[in-house]
Structures are given as C-alpha cells and as structure tokens.
Amino acid sequence: MPLKRIGILTGGGDCSGLNAVIRAITLSAIRNHNLSVIGIEKGFEGLIFNHSQELTPRSVRDILPQGGTILGTSNKGDPFAFKELHKDGSITTHDYSARAVQTFSDLKLDCLFVIGGDGSLQIAYKLSEMGLPIIAVPKTIDNDLEGTDYSFGFHTAVQVATDAIDRLQTTGRSHDRVMILEVMGRSAGWIALEAGIAGGAHVILVPEIPFDFGLVTAKIRERQAMQAPFSLVVVAEGAMEKDCRPITQEAATTRLQGVPQLGGIGNHLATRLGRDIDLEVRCTVLGHIQRGGTPIAFDRVLGTQLGSFALHSALKGRFGTMVALRTPDLKLVPLKELAGRVRQVPLDSQLIRTAESVGICLGR
C-alpha cells in the first residue's frame, strides 16, 4: 500500500543531530512524494496520549544546526510499562501499548519512524510485533547500539569532551594538579576512550575494564618521578574498580525511568587519589553538556543520510528494521536482532590497543 501519511517520534535522551533526521525525513517526504508528516510530541508519551503536530518544510527550515529535538522527547514513556507518580509518592505501572496502537490508527498513519537508542528500539520492536509498520533510526551519544558503526550524536559528544580535556590540560599543567573528567556513556566506554585518546589523557577508565586503583596511582607517581606531576584522568560514568559495582545516584526522577542513574565515580576517584598522592586533585563532571548544543558537521550529515534512507526504505515497505551505517554504506538491520543488546568496547579493540601503545593507563 502506498504511503500517504507518516509519523516521526524522538525517544529517550536528547542529543545533537536529532533535528537533522527530522528535517531529512520531512523534506524528503513532502518535496519528493507529497506525503503528510506528523510529528509525535514528547516521545512515546505523545503516542500514548495523542499529542502531535504537522510538520512542513517551513517548520523544519532552520533546525539543522539546532541541538535537541523540536518534537520534545522523554525517557519515561514506555507504553508497555508506563509509570505514573501520584501525589502521595506511590507509583503505578500501566500497559498502554494498545492505546499507543490506537493513536497510530486515529492519526491515520501509514508508518512510524522511531528515532532513539536501545530503550526506544526495544519499544519499537515490541510495537512492530503488534503490527505497527516501523523503521528505527539509531540515536545515542553513547554509541552503544549493535548493528551500526556509529549513531549520530556520538561524535558531537566526543568533540565536546575533547574540548573540555584541552581546557583541563592547560589549567592542570599550570598548577601541577591531577585533573579528572567524568563523561557519559553508561555501560559503554566509547566516549571516554575516543575523547581521552584525542585529548592526550594519561589515564582512561572505562566500564569494560574494571580498574586496579593501585595501577592508576602508580601511573600518576611514575609521571611525578619523570618531573611531569600534572596528570589527566578521563573516566566513564559506568567505570568501576575491581570487585566493585558502578556508582549510582539516587534521585526521584530515576524512579520513573526504571534504570539506575550513573554518576559519581569521578568525585569518588578524586577523594581516593587525594588521600594517596601528594598532589591537588580536581574533578569535573561534564554531564549534560555532552548532550546539548550545535551538532558538528559529521552528525548533521549522518543524521541527514539516515533520515533520507529511512524514508526511502519505508517507501519500499521495509518495516521492522533500523537504518544503520556500515561504512561507507547505509544498510537495514532487523529490529529483532538489536532489541535489548548493548555494544560495549571489545577488549581486543584496536582503540584499546592504540591507547595502551602510546602509554595510556587503562587500569589493567
């Protein structure tokens, strides 16, 4: 059946490049095929509660360099397990998947483009199993999605982290301090590893390699002995010491997400190092600065490519798939092969070998 009316939603955390995808799908659909384009607002919550807007060439005209998403997003709107927080502090969980499917029908959509990370892809797969024609587009700064070489948003996050490292280098060297930078990535160390290599870090700690604290202090003392007391440590939020668990933050907002909020390893490491070495130690937590702001050229181009290819694939009826970068080509990957899988840095990765070959300590 030919497409007449398509929907787009952005799920999970925001990242740079989302608007490039929205723009590419919208312009390709309207200019080349005269389709109607409906933007679902606030992620899957909009699909549950029927919040939407029509997208036009005018509404996407100036959004290419903008961070975030013009449609809004949410990481608390799983239609299969929607959690509602009540005034008394209690939480109830509801299965609103049938309501989401009904909204799709009420909006008279012929297909739905889901732009999101691993959580959104799991939801997309479940909805496709219920009969919705869906094509997914990989989005995450963490770069932890199977099936694609890169997800858009990752390179911008790496560039932001690298810029921060460059600034910490100069102030750390001026004061002979140990500077710690904590970056995002959840259970994958891609941001920490690439930004750390790019910024000339001396220690990089990633979730894939539980670190030996003694080796970290030994690296810093080795630099002191070489008359180079300044050291720079890049640590991923999900990194952990041997025989320990990742450090998590307890906050009310995490109760609705259903997943632990990582963070705090940087300050924990600073406290430990401050007791063991005779140097000042400072920690910077980059946090959501990595998510916001103008996307770099790579993510604008990749987002535009993925959006255009997603529409092209939908016109061919290739539903139940995710568009993926398999350098230098774009491919389709079945959602059933991706749902629930997280791509971590392989321990035999060339990136890891590169880091250690130039003297970077990975805590092992």
Answer yes or no: is 364 a known binding residue.
no
Token pair, residue 258, equals 């259903």
Q: How far apart are the first and last CA of the chain?
A: 56
CA angle 224, 225, 226 (to 5 degrees): 90
Answer yes or no: is 291 a known binding residue.
yes
CA angle 298, 302, 306 (to 5 degrees): 175
Answer yes or no: is 123 a known binding residue.
no
Answer yes or no: is 117 a known binding residue.
yes
Q: Which of 142, 163, 276, 278 is catalytic?
A: 142
Answer yes or no: is 360 a known binding residue.
no
Answer yes or no: is 293 a known binding residue.
no
Answer yes or no: is 263 a known binding residue.
no
Answer yes or no: is 118 a known binding residue.
yes
State the DSSP string of 72-134: ---SS--TTSEEEE-TTS-EEEE--HHHHHHHHHHTT-SEEEEEE-HHHHHHHHHHHHTT--E
Answer yes or no: is 223 a known binding residue.
no
Q: Is 264 left (phi over 0), alpha (psi -120 to 50) or beta?
A: left
Closest CA to 31 of 2, 53, 60: 60
Answer yes or no: is 87 a known binding residue.
no
Pairing outcome for strands 82-85 and 91-94: antiparallel
Answer yes or no: is 354 a known binding residue.
no
Answer yes or no: is 120 a known binding residue.
yes
Q: Which residues contact 94 (CB under 8 A, 6 or more apart)?
A: 81, 82, 84
Helix, strand or coil, per DSSP, at residue 258: coil
149 is catalytic: no
Answer yes or no: is 189 a known binding residue.
no
Specify binding-site residues for ATP: 13, 76-77, 117-120
Specify binding-site residues for Mg(2+): 118
Specify binding-site residues for substrate: 140-142, 177, 184-186, 237, 282, 288-291
Which amino acids are annotated catalytic?
Answer: 142
Specify binding-site residues: 13, 76-77, 117-120, 140-142, 177, 184-186, 237, 282, 288-291
